[in-house]
Chains A and B, each alone.
Chain A
Amino acid sequence: MKKILLMGNPNVGKSVIFSRLTGLNVIASNYLGSTVEFSKGYVMLLGEKYELVDVPGTYALSPTNRAEEVAVKMLSAFRPGDLLLNIVDAANLERNLLLTLEILGLRHPTVVVLNRWDMTASRGISISTAELACRLTVPVLPVTGVSGEGIKELMAALERTASEPSLPEISVPAESEEKWKLVGAICSTSQKLYHRHPTMFEKLQEFSIRMPFALFMALGVLAGSFAFIRFIGESLINYALNPLFTKAYMPILLKIAGPDKLPAWLSKFLLGVRPVPMESFGLLTTGLYIPLVVLLPYIFSFYLVLSFLEDTGYLVRIAVVMDRVFHKVGLHGYASIPILLGLGCKVPAIASTRILESEKEKIITLTLILFTAPCIPQTAMIYAVLNNYGLHVVMAFFVSLMAWGMIVGFVLNKVIKGETQELFVEIPPYQMPHVRTLFKKVYMRLKMFLLEAVPMIIAGIAAVSVLDMTGLTVKVSNIFAPVIHGLLGFPKGMSVVMMSGFLREDISIALLAAFNLNLKQLVIASFMLVIYLPCIATFSMIAREFSFKTAVKISALTFVIALSLASLLNFIL
């Protein structure tokens, strides 16, 4: 099949254009490296199917990092009949044109897109696409990816180029200094810059990276974000979902599947044994209550905030501000992005460790993700379980988790050989998030949770009930009693909780509610459940990103560490 390679600098909106052309949804973010693994989709041109490849962003064809190596390698597989689509940030023409020249120097049929066309006017930029097309000797099209403006014209241009491929004729010098001169010459005739007063956004932009103000701002934004996530999540639960579940859904359920309507065992399986939805462990009560009432609101509000921070461009600035702290644990600031993602779900977080260059940084980041960043379902469950004892308990819990993370990182930094790379990252200009794109992204992440996690949670609860009904729970509990009861100070039945943690850690925390634990036991149990094993999805992601052996090793290590730490806590607290 013929291919169209989508190429351009990092963070110029390639993924947005990709989504527009293919109709596929890919998560695009306002920081570079969100496409480390390239995506593929299909486009119809003149009745022929083309494969559209979203190549990782690169500044030039002489690679300086791994994402760029991938890009260059993909370009070398270019065959006759294929097309190149070069995405250029219209608001930063000069820098983008270096890559454009290098691409045109290859003499392949190319179409150039000036993306973010809508931004040029407000930034005092005026570009003549006709003049630019004349200088570059290839079609140049203004497009606004986020709104879809210009996509139709782009498709037409691609079809024209596909039907009668004309090769670029511009002569590109080999020397980099000469290339920059050519870029300068092209810009001077095709682009006009107007002076205008800096906008409020731009002033904010300056302040948000000026130290030490930027540090306080970042802490403020993070604290504000957590407060907002909690506010939205809690409001949704208290005023919408919980009333809906207990007042509307439960009475109907009782009418249909109450103990008087169905055989006792079936009713018990579906409705559970206790009247409280969180503790009953029925398939249709707790099985739906946990994912839809306890977890979903927080997942929604978390991703709403995360996507907002991503799309405005603030997330990268947090990474820059965090750089100093992260060097203490052998990482540079950019590693804070996988860790922040890990607060949502560990699976995409581990995938995003690819943006890190050295093995040492990857391993430390992975460990921090596993050890200190409970995913949002875990956080929501811990919050639900511990909040009965007051907010200060919850806060103390998460602060100690962070302190624990710093210790782990500090030790790993000393133990693992290798050096930490220096931070080197482009800071994208602030953008007002496009509301539809933002909600689409939140929707995609919610869908992922609903399709993948919800069935797992229900299956987990079903498994627990079956074990319980068949009497296996008691047998297993007796085997592990010395560890669970003797070492950790938990009730014997808790071994089931520990086992279910491998399936989904949020279920295991939910199971705690049924044991009437005291505060000390609850804290130790939550602490242990957060760190003791990666869930199945996370395990397979580690196996994919690193290796199966690494995944097994890491799981064994975390298990031993969690067990020893929990025992230690049991004796000193």
Chain B
Amino acid sequence: MKKGKAKHMSIIDLKNGQQGKIVAIQGGPGVSRKLGNMGIRVGSQVCNLSGHFMKGPVVVQSGRTQVAMGPGLAGKIMIEKI
């Protein structure tokens, strides 16, 4: 699995409103497929809309799609800040 070069962080580590570019999606092919069908895939730009509050879910914007996902899933989306 390709890791982020300088420092790897997941989408959870973004503050609300911050954007990032996906560098890797951890977990099995099922996870990649589930996210990919929504247009969330390596190379796409994403934005953390909700911030991360009390280990709750994270709302991710990718293109014109907004997806809410549990922290376990969001933690698998590795990004680099832009």
Contact = CB atoms under 8 A, between A and B. Distances in A.
Contacts of A320: 50, 57, 59, 68
Interface in B48-73: 49-57, 59, 63-73
Interface in A72-111: 91-92, 94-95, 98
Interface in A313-337: 316, 320, 323-324, 332-333
Nearest to B65: A95
B63 A427 contact: no
A60 B26 CA distance: 21
- Which among B37, B69, B71 has the greatest number of chain A C-beta atoms within 10 A? B37
B39 A94 contact: yes
A24 interface: no
16 contacts: A59-B37, A60-B37, A64-B33, A92-B65, A95-B64, A98-B39, A211-B53, A212-B53, A320-B57, A320-B59, A323-B57, A324-B57, A423-B69, A426-B68, A427-B66, A427-B68
A92 B64 contact: yes
Given A176-B41, A323-B70, A324-B57, 4 more contacts: A92-B65, A211-B52, A425-B67, A429-B66
B36 interface: yes
B30 A64 contact: yes
B16 interface: yes
Contacts of B3: none
Contacts of B72: 422
A487 interface: no
B39 A210 contact: no
A177 B42 CA distance: 10
A59 B52 CA distance: 26
A171 interface: no
A215 B57 CA distance: 12
A210 B37 contact: no
A62 interface: yes
A238 B56 CA distance: 43
Contacts of A316: 68
Nearest to A211: B53
A176 B36 contact: yes
Interface residues of B, number: 30
A449 interface: no
Contacts of B67: 424-427
Contacts of B50: 209-211, 214, 320
Interface of B: 16, 30, 33-34, 36-39, 41, 49-57, 59, 63-73
B63 A94 contact: yes
Contact of B37 (A98, A215, A422, A429): A98
A95 B57 contact: no
Nearest to A317: B68
Contact of A206 (B33, B37, B49, B52): B49
A209 B49 contact: yes
Nearest to A176: B36
A423 B59 CA distance: 10
Contacts of A324: 53-57
Given A320-B59, A323-B56, A424 B39 contact: no
A423 B57 contact: yes
A64 B37 contact: yes
Interface in A398-432: 422-427, 429
Contacts of B68: 209, 316, 320, 323, 333, 423-427
Contact of B73 (A180, A206, A212, A422): A422
A216 to B, nearest CB: 12
Contacts of B36: 176
B70 A332 contact: yes
Given A64-B37, A94-B39, A95-B65, A210 B70 contact: no
A34 to B, nearest CB: 17
B41 to A, nearest CB: 7
Nearest to A98: B37
Nearest to A62: B33
A92 B62 CA distance: 11
Contacts of B30: 64
A376 B34 CA distance: 37
Given A324-B57, A424-B34, A95 B70 contact: no
A189 B67 CA distance: 27
Contacts of B65: 92, 95, 426
A427 B59 CA distance: 8
B72 to A, nearest CB: 5
Contact of B59 (A62, A180, A209, A332): A209
B81 to A, nearest CB: 19
A552 B72 CA distance: 37
B6 to A, nearest CB: 25
Given A209-B49, A210-B50, A95 B69 contact: no
B47 to A, nearest CB: 10
A241 B16 CA distance: 50
B2 to A, nearest CB: 15
A9 to B, nearest CB: 9
A221 B41 CA distance: 35
